[in-house]
Structure 1
Amino acid sequence: MSTQAFEYGKYFEELQKVNLSVRPGGGSSFDGTAAITSLKGSLAWLEIFGAEQPPSGMVREGAEVSLSVWTGGALCRCDAAVEKVRDDRQFAVRLVGDVRELQRREYFRLDVTLPFIWELLPGLTPEEAQARWMADRTELWRQPEMVPVGDGYKVVGWNGRDIAPARANLSGGGIRFRVSEFVEAGSLLELTLFLSLPRPRTVCCLAEAIRCHEIALTLERGTHYQLSMKFTTISDKDREAVISYLFAEQRRELKAKNERLPAGGRW
């Protein structure tokens, strides 16, 4: 990769949330979310936030990084390399090359808080899982009852129980969230999402586990893992509903951010 003169400020800005992937080599990688705390030319300081934590030593000088952000019309992605490291959560990257604009909206990812349930489907063939998915979808005709709680919504009285919201990284093509049990890559799962749209909607889909790694640092007791999966079976209407929900959540976050900014638009 060679550094080129490029106006990165057209795509990235301070206080902006970005998705990042760190690849130190050897086949390992870390996918997470960070905020740009400083941007001067091609040098961007990042701070990883939330419960996500890369394994110790993974963020090191020279490691390859990919940054992406949704602009509203396309997913913008840029390559970078770690240049300075303050700690595993705070480090500087040097942006290199052009910013690439990808038009596929399902690539857009966002950290959200929403109610969802998931179930492993051990022993089922893809065909059997597909038949179960089709049968389960026919039972999701009713609109879920959702009420505000904390910074999200919970579902009330769904099959005799309430479903609390949880943090997840969601896109039109997959989801990542914390689990308390290890899930083998390639495992099939059925996932039900409850979307707080103007007309609340239930989305049922099949997913395949891509990777599951232990979270090294957590304040909670016990062992926890980060489970990443891709949707393998989801209707076009349901995918569009997920994308619409993500757009609505991003607009809500941007509005809240603008309301927190003092006069002049900067902290």
Structure 2
Amino acid sequence: MTQKPSVDLKAHLRPDTQVRVAIHLPDNSIIDLYAMIVRIEDDLLHMETFRSSKTQLAIVPHGARVVVMSSETWAFCRGEGIFEAAIDLNFAVRIRGELEIQQRREFFRMDVYIPVVYAVPADQQMTTVEGMWKARRMMTESGPPPRTIPWQGSFKILNWNDHPNIDPCRVNLSGGGIRIKIPEQLTPGTLVDLDIFLPATTLRVISAVGSVIRSTEVLLNLEPNPSYVTAMEFIHLSTKDREIIISYLFNEQRNSLRIQNEI
């Protein structure tokens, strides 16, 4: 007997919403694709994927385990189910059990001038990216601290993990995400490896994974090459590192207010 979801799907998901879908195949490999919800019938999600995923979709057997994730403005939603059927670019997933709903927290945001380095993993499968993030954190915590020199009112990182120099840049940072100007445009949903260098009590390297929300070209740009303001939400960030970010921003705001009061 099919186990119906214990919550109303229509209360948390809606048509015309983009979702991320991870399909687990019998050989333990995973197909990772994006799709749009077309309609919802009880515990059945009808979706349509992009033409680039048509070949992958054709090999999925009936009954394959599927994880569906949605990131709306107010919450993250995750559900598991089974693959029912596929016709061309359209497919259906029957959700089983409970949906996991995690409401977004509102975090204080602030513009700061710090070194940040990013990389887009070639393998965008969620399980692979999460595993590499955990490995990066372990290497960072067990390795020597980065070498720094003062630079333009902030600091520069020297010869760290195959990066010759990492200059500071202006970013908008919070405990929930980051907005940064980069030289390439990334599509929403792209997973990005991030290393953020914070001058806390001791220099702290925050290893995180961000998911792109939007990437907008800077039109009034005096630089010769195009650049894109890219906003990301953290999808992999340890609780300890999130608290360090929040504490750092609180101290930065307090110092800024103190300086203003002294003027």
Alignment TM-score > 0.5, same fold? yes
1:105 and 1:152 map into 2 onto residues whose CA distance is 29
| AA of the residue aligned to 1:156 | L
1:195–1:201 CA contact under 8 A, matched in 2: yes
Q: Which residue of 1 aligns with 2:234?
A: 231
CA-CA distance at 1:257 after TM superposition: 2.0
In the TM superposition, what is the alpha-carbon distance from 1:180 to its structure 2 partner?
1.2
The DSSP-based 3-state class of the residue aligned with 1:146 is strand
For the 8 Å contact 1:181–1:225, the answer to whether it is kept is yes
Is it true that 1:218 corresponds to 2:221 in the alignment? Answer: yes
Q: Which whole-Å CA distance do the structure 2 matches of 1:153 and 1:166 have between them? A: 10
Distance, in Å, in 1 between the alignment partners of 2:151 and 2:234 is: 28
Does residue 150 (structure 1) correspond to residue 152 (structure 2)? The answer is yes
User: What is the match of residue 111 of structure 2?
Assistant: 111
* Partner residue, 1:132: 132
Please list, as runs of the form range in 1=range in 2, the aligned pairs for 1:158-197 lying within 5 A after superposition. 158-159=160-161, 161-197=164-200
| SS, match of residue 139 in structure 2 | coil
Q: Deviations over 1:32-53 (max 9, x none)?
A: xxxxxxxxxxxxxxxxxxxxxx
Deviation, structure 1 residue 219 = 1.6
Structure 2 residue identity aligned to 1:249: E
Contact 2:123-2:129 within 8 A present in 1 as well:
no
Are the equivalent residues in 2 in contact too, given 1:146–1:200 (CA < 8 A)? no
Match for 2:260: what amino acid? K
Change (3 A) 1:125 1:105: closer
Runs of 4 or more, structure 1, over 3 Å off, are none
For residues 134 and 148 of structure 1, do their structure 2 counterparts lie closer, same or farther at Cα, with a shift above 3 Å needed? Answer: same
* Residues 1:120 and 2:120 aligned together: yes
What's the TM-score once normalised by structure 1's chain length?
A: 0.56
Tell me the distance in 2 between the aligned counterparts of 1:205 and 1:218: 28
C-alpha distance in structure 1 between counterparts of 2:230 and 2:208, whole Å: 16
Contact 2:182 2:230 in 1 (8 A): yes
Q: For the Cα contact (< 8 Å) 2:124–2:190, is it kept in 1?
A: no
- Alpha-carbon distance between aligned partners in 2 of 1:105 and 1:134, rounded to the nearest angstrom: 23
SS in 1 for 2:178: strand
Report the alpha carbon displacement of residue 207 of structure 1 after superposing the two structures with TM. Answer: 0.8
Instruction: Read off the aligned partner of 1:129 and give its amino acid letter.
Output: V
Alignment map for 1:1-267 (pairs within 5 Å): 107-141=107-141, 142-159=144-161, 161-259=164-262, 261=263
Structure-1 separation of matches of 2:106 and 2:119: 23
> Do 1:121 and 1:187's aligned partners in 2 also have CA atoms closer than 8 Å?
no
Q: Is the 8 A contact 1:122 1:187 kept in 2?
A: no
Matched AA of 1:125: Q
Task: Give the number of the structure whose alpha-carbon radius of gyration is greater.
Answer: 2
Once superposed, what is the RMSD of the aligned Cα atoms?
1.7
Contact residue 210 and residue 229 of structure 1 kept, 8 A: yes
Shift of 1:105: 7.4
Distance across 1 between alignment mates of 2:124 and 2:214: 19
Checking the alignment, whether the CA contact within 8 Å between 1:116 and 1:163 is kept in structure 2 is yes
Letter in 2 for 1:257: Q
